[in-house]
């Protein structure tokens, strides 16, 4: 399944970057899964928008087994890596951002640090509304917004590392786009309070306090519920 949107081999300009990103995101994915109130996914069909190498869906399945999971991304080599390790898990992965074939297919959807890269947030919000079942919930996490103090620095850094163009949005821009699509929108701080590697690359975090405050205070978790 493909669409007309440009695809990339990997999200990072460095071909090894996607693998490293998946490893660094793992503790935050675990916190994400533990934070959402849903506990029993056994009858649910799940979407991971921007699935990359499939690590989030595999972790979710290990922690909260679900009926079926679908991951979509435009990084073709990363999706191929996800497909290669599916094994017996009920997972499918597609190189696409076109969700029109999945109308009213999903009970719960996730995206983690993806929405800030989307050039057409309005279209994404509308498509996500269409693919969710009535009462379905989409959880979208991002700290990449222009009210995050390090954003001017990060915008340039991410732009230099990413094959996808970086957008410049406020938290209110996300709220407005999803509300206009029909979602009931609520939000909280991501609130990660786990251990952070103290020797991690300081390119993004000039101070260790930046590394602690970003996932705790500035990263946002949007809860988007479809009510018809």
Which residue ranges make up each domain of the chain? Answer: 17-226
- What kind and span of H or E run contains 184? strand 183-189
**pLDDT for res 165:** 79
> What are the residue ranges in the chain where pLDDT is below 70?
1-22
SS3 of 223, please? strand
Locate 186 and state its tokens. Answer: 């609520």
Query: Is the Cβ–Cβ distance between 129 and 104 less than 8 Å?
Result: no
**pLDDT for res 159:** 82
**pLDDT for res 13:** 53
**pLDDT for res 1:** 43
**pLDDT for res 6:** 64
Q: How far is CA 210 from CA 48, 96, 200, in A?
A: 28, 34, 12
Question: Given this structure, which CATH class describes domain 17-226?
Answer: alpha beta
What backbone torsions phi and psi does residue 216 show, to the nearest 5 degrees? Answer: -85, -40
């Amino acid at each position: 399944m493909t669409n007309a949107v440009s695809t990339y081999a990997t999200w990072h300009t460095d071909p090894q970057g996607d693998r490293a990103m998946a490893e660094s995101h793992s503790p935050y994915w675990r916190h994400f899964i533990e934070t959402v109130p849903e506990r029993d996914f056994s009858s649910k069909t799940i979407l991971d928008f921007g699935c990359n190498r499939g690590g989030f869906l595999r972790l979710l399945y290990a922690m909260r087994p679900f009926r079926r999971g679908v991951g979509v991304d435009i990084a073709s080599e990363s999706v191929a890596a996800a497909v290669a390790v599916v094994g017996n898990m009920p997972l499918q992965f597609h190189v696409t951002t076109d969700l029109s074939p999945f109308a009213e297919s999903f009970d719960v959807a996730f995206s983690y640090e993806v929405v800030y890269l989307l050039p057409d947030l309005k279209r994404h919000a509308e498509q996500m509304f269409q693919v969710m079942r009535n009462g379905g919930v989409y959880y979208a996490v991002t700290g990449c917004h222009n009210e995050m103090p390090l954003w001017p620095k990060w915008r340039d850094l991410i732009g230099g590392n990413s094959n996808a163009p970086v957008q410049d949005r406020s938290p209110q821009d996300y709220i407005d786009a999803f509300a206009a699509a029909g979602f009931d929108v609520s939000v909280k701080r991501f609130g990660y309070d786990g251990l952070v590697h103290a020797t991690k690359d300081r390119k993004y975090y000039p101070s260790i306090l930046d590394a602690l405050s970003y996932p705790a205070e500035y990263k946002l978790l949007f809860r988007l519920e479809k009510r018809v």
